[in-house]
Chain A
């Protein structure tokens, strides 16, 4: 495989409310920032991730294109998924050898919608969606299947929020009080990622270009993703076989992991993913605060890759994992391993 690295990463200062910015306005500053940091104004390939259902209207990515200055016309694509999959598509494109750089971005404005309800529409439309089982309910099913002690969930939430308060880009949420109301038992409000508006961008570069742009590029040594069956009754919800498969394919276990940024939209997912990826207690998980401290849907997974890469580029980590998920109850998982 051709050597490709993350060489620049930017994200918005995420908010828990609508700041009146259109999607292009949300995206433009982070695109400007990665262009400035990378010194690149044109890219061999561009790919984005977003989801029309957050806006309740088609073609979110069309107006986003206006923000990135796609003139003269650019080689560009879009995944209707978390932008971590856009990063994967860009990495694949860079494997061809004819282009050396890629711009990846993702955005989501949860404030325009009710994510919990919208995610219901992700279910089988004939048999499951009409039941109205919402996102937190099916996450709670998974948490129940796992049977984790509530104290453990609360500690994950507490740690994530504390780390989030130290991260200028994340929401500044208070420590859980321990008697927050249940959203769906056993998940309390603090166990559920908060509604968040935000965007993020990453620049990938291959070979020599990466070393020219970044002093310490975050080289992608492994990247893979896998899906599981859709029907919740067809899998063991207490485990994530697809995350384990993706982790193996990406080579997570081939060396020590200093930092892992996991796409945990619910506290219990950290336990399942740590287990699936074989991350021991010595691995720092979500030092950024993770999605429990800021969850700009469709950018959240890309931010995990970006945060993990940032620690390598800053010299704080030698080997890091960025993880993204999609679908109900960790149905699809993408794992990126990066090294200095």
Chain B
């Protein structure tokens, strides 16, 4: 890695089903201004802006970076729009970091958003390209068979997903920005909700949220305040259609994790990483990604979840913020993971702070579990 890069500001909106009080521009500006305030900077201090969001069909605005340039103080500056499906928030952070690591800019604002109340995401996900078949099942319908295959392979008992759903929602009660805040959330409550796509119940899925997240990234000589240093950053993609592709534990996820661990000098992620913000839109993805990311051996991820290791009080807390299960402005969801990882190592995560967190993983995935973006951030300079 060339130049060192650090997160010096994080801003989030409150995630809600509907933010009728702001336009899309107002939403992204709210997050951007909070990130700038955190960094004690203004738009004038920013060299370049990187915007990420999931498909344009979600809001019905084509290439919205053009319209959002003014709201993000980007007029007169370079602005780029990233789109890598569900992993886009993570990719947006990585493109922003790249501008600094490559020595091109000194301070970069990255912003990702989704305002799902302005459209219908399941509809937007279900239309299809000419010449291709549409499953018309939305994201849950696509991922449910992969989850069932995970259960078959690993022999995981049926209640593991429920445990994750409860754990992440309990964590969300400590996060003032979280969308789903369900007092008294319990296994019985999750199990009493309707089955949407076997084995995914209603409360084992992520909500549809309006929201935005922003970060200010800085080169080493521009670092101010409390930085979260980038120790490793990587993206990986693989084709959605490839005979024999393992969609339960995709190679792209394994390779991406291996790359960030190598950069950060991590050989045992479970012991060396203090907290992880991992893209878990359906509860069962926690045990699946525990294995894919090397926190547990093959078939062992669910045992880690069941043991309580990934709880806020466990030895490797996953999604202390409440995760995607509690807040899901799709395009921003990956960036929230990256930003929450940064907040943890800066010691600024508030009530959901993991004591003494020094090294954190931010993770995002998208498409048919084929796009991956990850970073490792640390309190210490790499």
Contact = CB atoms under 8 A, between A and B. Distances in A.
Contacts of B56: 51-53, 58, 80, 121
Contact of B66 (A46, A69, A79, A332): A332
A17 to B, nearest CB: 14
A118 B62 contact: yes
Contacts of B65: 81, 227
Contact of B76 (A72, A228, A230): A228
Nearest to A234: B70
Contacts of B82: 77-80
A147 to B, nearest CB: 25
A177 interface: no
B70 A230 contact: yes
B103 interface: yes
Given A89-B98, A96-B1, A96-B102, A59 B367 contact: yes
B238 A58 contact: no
Given A59-B85, A121-B61, A226-B77, A70 B237 contact: yes
B130 A22 contact: yes
Given A78-B82, A95-B104, A125-B59, A23 B129 contact: yes
B127 A56 contact: yes
Given A71-B239, A75-B235, A57 B66 contact: no
B83 interface: yes
A218 B259 CA distance: 31
Q: How large is the interface on A (under 10, 10 to 19, 20 to 34, 35 or more residues)?
A: 35 or more
Given A52-B55, A92-B98, A227-B76, A63 B129 contact: yes
Contact of B98 (A71, A93, A118, A231): A93
Q: Looking at chain A's contact residues, is the secondary structure mostly helix, strand, loop, or mixed?
A: mixed
A85 interface: yes
A124 B127 contact: no
B74 interface: yes
B96 to A, nearest CB: 10
A112 B130 contact: yes
Contacts of A66: 239-242
Contacts of B157: none
A219 interface: no
Nearest to A127: B23
A22 B131 contact: yes
B57 interface: yes
Contacts of B79: 227, 332
Nearest to A61: B83
Given A57-B129, A245-B76, A75 B2 contact: no
A209 B144 CA distance: 45
A336 interface: no
A70 B240 CA distance: 10
B255 A72 contact: yes
A109 B271 CA distance: 50
Given A52-B57, A65-B240, A77-B235, A228 B69 contact: yes
B125 A74 contact: no
B153 interface: no
6 contacts: A80-B81, A92-B104, A97-B2, A125-B60, A226-B76, A227-B78
Given A73-B255, A122-B64, 10 more contacts: A52-B56, A61-B84, A69-B239, A70-B238, A73-B238, A92-B102, A96-B2, A119-B62, A125-B61, A227-B75
